Amino acid sequence: MALVACPTASIGTTSRRSAREGVDVFPVQVVDNVYFCGFTAESSFGAWSYLIVRSEADGGNILVDSPRFTMPLVRRIEAMGGVRLMYLTHRDDIADHAKFAARFGCPRVMHRADGAARLGIEQVTDGDGTIDIANGCVSVPTPGHTRGHQVLLYRDTVLFTGDHLAWSPTRRTLTAFRDACWYSWTEQIKSMERLLAYRFEWVLPGHGRRHHAPAESMRDELAACVTWMKQRA
């Protein structure tokens, strides 16, 4: 799995069999109908991407950020129902988004402030208001890491956080990346405070560790993250 997911193909193997078995693993289930795509791309700095598998009645599958466009993954996604919508959290993690959009004929969602119009994005979000982009899916603007960063909240349970929020195994709590804040740390603090109004149990980031906790504990950890961020402002 590590060999297949590596964005720079830097991991070797002495067995062709092990490489083939890794190809067949992804997408791998994280929780319920949410899957990690693997096949990370060097062009998006190895960022993680996810597939939300939904029925046609619910609007079909959603690809959150873009993995590497490779046929083993594409065929598996096709077998799982394809992609009806692609949600891009921010400009760093778009990888092969255009190839996936062309293959599946799916519109892409991205914030205007991150260059959505220049990239030919079909559904451009704007401003600082939340948007219900699909059944059970809410887009929340979270500027800070980039000017147009946004996160996706799925069914008040899973928060796809891009480069905004992740779990710190060292500090044992939620964290933000001070050294990888390309737009404004002050704005990112405000964005983090905005998330305190939402309920979720999973943090699935583009970079860093994912995290699962009861919603009440998650909010406490998020509040502690805000305090920590303010101390480093």
Which residues have a Cβ under 8 Å from the Cβ of 163 and sit 6 or more positions away? 47, 89, 90, 92, 93, 145, 146, 149, 177, 180, 205, 206, 207
Place of tokens 């950890």: 221
The per-residue pLDDT for 2 is 82
Give the residue-averaged pLDDT of 123-149: 96
The per-residue pLDDT for 21 is 63
The CA distance from 154 to 167, in Å, is: 19
CATH of the domain at 92: 3.60.15.10
Report the share of the chain in percent with pLDDT over 70. Answer: 97
The per-residue pLDDT for 20 is 61
Q: Is the pLDDT of residue 82 over 70?
A: yes
DSSP 8-state assignment for residue 209: B
Give the residue-averaged pLDDT of 92-104: 97
What is the three-class DSSP state of 221?
Answer: helix
Q: Is the pLDDT of residue 18 over 60?
A: no
**pLDDT-based confidence at 1, cuts 50/70/90?**
confident
The CA distance from 66 to 47, in Å, is: 8
Q: Is the pLDDT of residue 159 over 70?
A: yes
The per-residue pLDDT for 113 is 98
The CA distance from 62 to 108, in Å, is: 10
Comparing CA positions, the residue from 32, 64, 70, 39 lying closest to residue 51 is 64
Place of tokens 């899973």: 158
Structural domain for 206, as ranges: 2-231
The per-residue pLDDT for 12 is 78
167-221 pLDDT, tens per residue? 999 999 999 999 999 999 999 999 999 999 999 999 999 999 999 999 999 999 9
The per-residue pLDDT for 22 is 60
The per-residue pLDDT for 230 is 98
Contact 70, 229 (CB under 8 A): no
Give the residue-averaged pLDDT of 56-76: 96
42-64 pLDDT, tens per residue? 999 999 999 999 999 999 999 99
Helix runs in 176-214, H state only: 185-194
How many domains does the chain divide into? 1
What residue type is 148 in one-letter code?
G
Contact 190, 183 (CB under 8 A): no
